[in-house]
Amino acid sequence: MNDSGVVVEGVEKSFGEVRALRGVDFTAAQGEVLGILGPNGAGKTTTVNILSTLIAPDRGRAQVAGHDVVADPAAVRRSIMLTGQFAALDDMLSGYENLVMFGRLMGLRKPAARARADELLAEFDLVDAAGRRVGTYSGGMRRRIDIACGLVVRPDVVFLDEPTTGLDPRSRQGVWDLVSSFRKHGITTLLTTQYLEEADALCDRIIVIDHGVVIAEGTADELKSRTGGSYCEVVPLRLEDLPAIAAALGPLLPEESRAALTPDSDRIALPAPEGAKTLAEALRRLDSSGVELVDIALRRPSLDDVFLQLTGHLAATETGAAE
Ligand SMILES: Nc1ncnc2c1ncn2[C@@H]1O[C@H](COP(=O)(O)OP(=O)(O)OP(=O)(O)O)[C@@H](O)[C@H]1O
Ligand SMILES: [Mg+2]
C-alpha cells in the first residue's frame, strides 16, 4: 500500500530551543496532490526538508515512495524531485546545457540526455531561451528551468515548497499546469503554499499545520463545511423592508440571526444547512411577501474563513520568501 506515496508518523524536529515539529502525522496516496498549508513558521519547510532527506527527524518515521528517509536516504533521493530554495543550476551554462548536465548526472547517455532536454524546453516554453546562459534568465524562467531539471528523470514524489511565491500570474499558471500534469502522470505531489486559492484549485487534499502539528485535514470542501457551512444572503432594495423580510423568512431565520440585525444592517444572512434547498425555500417565502430584492444568493465559506478560524490568523501573502 502507498508504495509511491508518503507516510509520516509522529515526526518531531527541534532546532535548539525551537520545537519546529511536535509530532506530525499524515499520508499522501500515490498520484495525490496534497496541500500543506500553514502560517509563517508553522513547520512546512521543515517537513519538506525531512521528507527530502535534507535534514533528519529527531523522532518518528517517514517513508517516501516506500523508502525510509533515515534508513535509506539515497533511495528516497532517487525517487523525488525537489524545487525551490536549493536549485543546483549553473548560471554559466545555458538552459539546454543545464538540462543535459542533469540528464548525465542522472545516468542518461548523451543522446538520451539531449533528447530529454529538447522535450523539456518545449514543454516549459523555453525553446527561445535554450541557448542563453541561465544567469540572464528572469525569475519566472529560472523557476521553470529549475522544475524542468528536476523532471529529467520522472520522479515518484515531487515536493514544491511555495512554488508560486513571487511569480507573475502567467508563470503561476505555468506551475499550476505542471501540477496537473504531475497528477496525470500518477506522480505524488506535496505542495506548500500560503495562497489559499491555490490550495483550493490544485489540491486533492489539504493538511493545515500550525505550531508544528497537523491541526486539520480534508478536501477543501470538507474543510469549508467544517466552518459553519453555507449561508444565504438576502439584500433588499429598500432598507425599511428588512423587518418584513425577517418576518417572511419565519422559522428559516434563527433567533440569533434575528438578534444580530441592527439599524445599520443592509442585508440578512441565514444559515443554509441544506444549501440550494434552503435558498429555494427562502425565495418562495420572500416572493409571496412581495418584498423587492436586489440580490439573494447562496454563499459558501472561503478557505480563508477556514484558515482564519483554525489558526486565528490569515495566511500572509508574503513575497520573496524563497531565495
Ligand atoms: N535551521 C534552523 N535553525 C533554527 N530554527 C529553524 C531552522 N529552520 C527552521 N527553524 C524554525 O522552525 C520553525 C518552523 O520553520 P519552517 O521553515 O518549517 O516554517 P514554514 O512553515 O516553512 O514557514 P514559512 O511559511 O515562513 O516558510 C520556525 O520557528 C523557524 O524559525
Ligand atoms: Mg517555508
Q: In angstroms, what is the span from residue 317 Cα to ligand 1's centroid?
A: 17
Q: What is the pTM assigned to this prediction?
A: 0.72
Q: In angstroms, what is the span from residue 201 Cα to ligand 1's centroid?
A: 26
43 lines ligand 1 (CB under 6 A): yes
3-state secondary structure of 31: coil
316 lines ligand 1 (CB under 6 A): no
- pLDDT tens per residue, range 69-83: 999 999 999 899 876
323 or 155: which leads in pLDDT: 155
pLDDT of residue 85: 37
pLDDT of residue 322: 35
pLDDT class of 318 with cuts at 50, 70, 90: very low
Angle 104-107-108 from CA coordinates, rounded to 5°: 65
Task: Determine contact, residues 29/66, Cβ cutoff 8 Å.
Answer: no
Over residues 198-221, mean pLDDT: 93
Contacting residues for 247 by C-beta, under 8 A, at least 6 apart? 289
pLDDT class of 228 with cuts at 50, 70, 90: low
Task: Count other C-beta atoms under 10 Å from residue 310's C-beta.
Answer: 18
CA distance 322 to 96: 24
pLDDT class of 321 with cuts at 50, 70, 90: very low
Atom number of ligand 1 nearest to Cα 39: 25
Q: In angstroms, what is the span from residue 162 Cα to ligand 2's centroid?
A: 7
**Of 210, 167, 292, residue with least CA distance to 21:** 210
